[in-house]
Structure 1
Amino acid sequence: MSLAPVRTESGPESSDAAAARPALPSLTGARWWAAFAVFLLHALVFLPVYPFQKSELFRQIHQLMPMQLGAAGVTFFFVLSGFIIYWSFRPGSSVPRFYWRRVLKIYPTHLVAALAFILVASVPLSRMVVWAPNLALIHTWVPKWTTVGGLNVPSWSLAAEILFYLSFPLALPLVRRIRSHQVWWVLAGLLVAILLLHTAYYLWVPGPKGIANTFAPRLIPGDVSPYFELHAAPIWFEQSDIPVAASYWLSYNFPLSRLPEFFLGVLAARLVLEGRWRNTRLAPPMIVLMIAYAATWVVPPNYKMSALLLAPMTAVVATLAARDLAGIRGFTASPRMVWLGNISFAFYLIQFPVMVLITRLLIGGKQFGPLGWLGFAALSLVVSTVVAAAIYHWIDDPLMRKFSGRRTAAKQAGSTPPGPRE
């Protein structure tokens, strides 16, 4: 099935074409699976179920669900963010309104999740270094776990998103100056630059040099489950400084290092809009993505977390959009998946506070095996989904409807990372 481009061959798409861009429900539904991948990793690491977490079975399961599982979900969100932001930003749109919509989409849900974490983890508000940088979403600019992991851990990715949004209107004129036939070359050059950047981090910045899984539970002595996973424990917030490996922080958390991933999505959106991405077969990019994911087991952490996955991940995002434009409605475009995609941002942020609460009330002081962990993981999934739905329907969506100024194609298409829609 062919796709009709929504631009001329020689220049950027017209204002009328931009205003008529269709919804992309497949991208909305796919957001849920990315958020679910993050949840699986967090449930394995952040539910301190002892002695299960100290068993050989746990070690084997963690090999099957390593750090790059959750990292792949974040990588998808970052690429998707660039795609949807470009898709929904119409020529002549107000830049201040664009910034206002991004603030309105991110901060209310972020603050609700942060407040929930403060309450369930009994965070000491007297130590502003623990919570203030996180609330402002500037906490990942400093390579210290005191700030990077100082509050609701999943919110680290929002600090990168803030940079993405700030940079987009500034870089947009440059993106639009790229001639249509050169977009492929620029995208390929960006991928090469990302690989070179992470290679430089690996070669010349202190940090892990092996291929071991470095995102693992922080265990304490004994076989009785603690009342707090260490990232939510009172002792964590009392420490004056918690260093983090520089190369790990630069490769994964540092916003500038993740900025190119956002612009891969921007360039992919141009390819789809201009009719230069016509593939609607999802199997080829998914197979390449699985091969790249398998390769992450044998490379250092600098490459595990995004570098090897970016090319096929970008192809998957572009193909899902192309399928929607061609009228191909797969499983991720179903109404149920679209609903799950819409609540995925709140789900992504609230999952850790929910796990902290379940640990404090039900896990701490007891002993459980693998079935116990499985039961608590399932409970965390259900509670996180219910609370996320409440946040979306009672806070997020009403605020966007009342104060955003307009409803756009991005509302239907889904949005930005871990889920904010345009």
Structure 2
Amino acid sequence: MTAPADVAAPAAALPSVRARLPSLTGARWWAALAVFVLHALVLLPAYPFQKSELFRRIHQDFLPMQLGAAGVTFFFVLSGFIIYWSFRPGSSTRAFYRRRVLKIYPTHLVAAAAFIVVAAVPVGRIVLWLPNVLLIHTWWPKWTTVGGLNVPSWSLVSEMLFYLSFPLALPLVRRIPSRWLLAAIAGAGLFILALHLVYFLGFDGPRGIANAFAPRLVPGDTSPPAELHASPAWFAQPDIPVLRSYWSSYDFPLSRLPEFYVGVLAARAVLEGQWRSTRLVPALMAAFLAYVASWVVPIDFKMSALEVVPMAALIATLAARDMRGLGGVSSSRVMVWFGEVSFAFYLIQFPVMVLITRYVIAGRRFGLLGWLGCAALCFALALAAAAVIYHGVDKPLMRRFARAR
């Protein structure tokens, strides 16, 4: 199985040796860190802090749900950018799929196994873990499956769809004239906004613009032994419905597919000279303003729709800077290492939080400083575990099996 001959692009557009992009590798860390900060805030049940007015103000006014969602949007757009950047004309489709599966599944399975152990998941109830392990669980609008196991793994279902579709859609992507690439990116951004508008108008869900309040609180001011997503009460429920508008706009893999192809188009734009800007400040400001705008729109638009095109501009700018040797903070050796372990860090963070909740937080009382200490402990352990997974599992497997012998 090889890519069809008609997908080959001119050599000038697809050079055989492309520039390394250390800034994008390092930038992955900042996105993973945003997800961690949000998760540490809402998934560490440090009582009475999580029940205080201070917590509500911090969560709703300064660190809302869309903070972590912005990191996921960055990952999705970056995924499309890197996949196109690294793809070679004539490459074997089978080899492409093998590399993608090797990059995703081993780390995912390690994190899933860790969660099953630390959360004492009842493995006899297959619906809780098998859809998650197979990475098919967000195709159904049921929290029994969507949130049944390691919470961050929901995004991997979309990633697997991205990878499956890429060799099939590549001929269509290549047929877009180079001069239309930026217009195509803008058009994709408008399509995403229109799609979310359809979900907003057509399905039940919140209509207000207030930031979502996420913690699932239980009675009492003493910290419980587990956050709801990792508690026996959660695992015992026969079914947990979700708001259809929220699931459709955020979790449903087909809804996130355009974000991946915005990244693909951005990679083409950089490679073919349609995006030349190396000015980082305007790109950062565009992403920041899109994030600020999320405060004044309904939740269907808060979590990704406003930020896709600004994220693409930021990623394209970082890549253009790397091509010109400009570099920056994210391209340093230390930041590149953080970026390399960021995928494992992203997946292992919640199992670590469940572990710390069970053995450190449970049965105790914590204020703001206590929560900060628990979050710092989770950060240190998750980073150490991520380094072990990356160097002990990911790299050896990729080195041994990523290429046909």
TM over 0.5: yes
Aligned to 2:48, which of 38, 51, 61?
51
Count of paired positions: 397
Q: Distance in 2 between matches of 1:309 and 1:185?
A: 17
Q: Distance in 1 between matches of 2:259 and 2:244?
A: 20
Amino acid at match of 1:296: S
Q: Which residue of 2 aligns with 1:119?
A: 117
SS of 2:274's equivalent in the other structure is: coil
SS of 1:18's equivalent in the other structure is: coil
Contact 1:82 1:263 in 2 (8 A): yes
Contact 1:13 1:274 in 2 (8 A): no
Q: Which residue of 2 aligns with 1:414?
A: none
Contact 1:71 1:306 in 2 (8 A): yes
Matches within 5 A, 1:171-210: 171-210=169-208
Kindly provide the CA deviation profile for residues 6-36 of structure 1, in whole angstroms up to 9, marking residues without a partner as x: xxxxx93429953211110000000000000
Q: Which residue of 2 aligns with 1:329?
A: 327
User: Aligned Cα RMSD in Å?
Assistant: 1.3
Q: Which residue of 2 aligns with 1:28?
A: 25
The answer to whether structure 1 residue 70 and structure 2 residue 68 are counterparts is yes
Q: Which residue of 1 aligns with 2:392?
A: 394
Distance 1:135 1:215, change over 3 A: farther
**Which stretch shows the higher mean deviation, 285-294 or 63-72?**
285-294
Kindly provide the CA deviation profile for residues 174-214 of structure 1, in whole angstroms up to 9, marking residues without a partner as x: 00111111212221111111000001111111111111233
Amino acid at match of 2:250: Y
Aligned to 1:227, which of 217, 225, 228?
225
Kindly provide the CA deviation profile for residues 101-149 of structure 1, in whole angstroms up to 9, marking residues without a partner as x: 0010100000000000000000000110000000000000000000000
Amino acid at match of 2:35: V
Shift of 1:60: 1.2
TM-score by length of 1: 0.93
Kindly provide the CA deviation profile for residues 59-118 of structure 1, in whole angstroms up to 9, marking residues without a partner as x: 111120000100000000000000000000100000000000001010000000000000
Q: Distance in 2 between matches of 1:57 and 1:13?
A: 58
Distance 1:59 1:215, change over 3 A: closer
SS of 2:15's equivalent in the other structure is: helix
Matches within 5 A, 1:190-269: 190-269=188-267
Q: Distance in 2 between matches of 1:212 and 1:281?
A: 33
The answer to whether structure 1 residue 282 and structure 2 residue 275 are counterparts is no
SS of 2:217's equivalent in the other structure is: coil
Q: Distance in 1 between matches of 2:12 and 2:401?
A: 24
Contact 1:208 1:301 in 2 (8 A): yes
Q: Distance in 1 between matches of 2:13 and 2:187?
A: 31
Aligned to 1:110, which of 101, 108, 113?
108
Contact 2:98 2:402 in 1 (8 A): yes
Distance 1:17 1:168, change over 3 A: closer
TM-score by length of 2: 0.96
Q: Which residue of 1 aligns with 2:5?
A: none
Aligned to 1:367, which of 365, 368, 371?
365
Kindly provide the CA deviation profile for residues 289-343 of structure 1, in whole angstroms up to 9, marking residues without a partner as x: 1111111111111110011111111100000000000100100000000000000
Q: Which residue of 1 aligns with 2:3?
A: none
SS of 1:329's equivalent in the other structure is: coil
Contact 2:221 2:365 in 1 (8 A): yes
Q: Distance in 1 between matches of 2:324 and 2:171?
A: 29
- Percent identity reads 67
Amino acid at match of 1:147: T
Q: What runs of 5+ residues in structure 1 fail to find an aligned partner?
A: 1-10, 407-422
Q: Distance in 2 between matches of 1:402 and 1:200?
A: 46
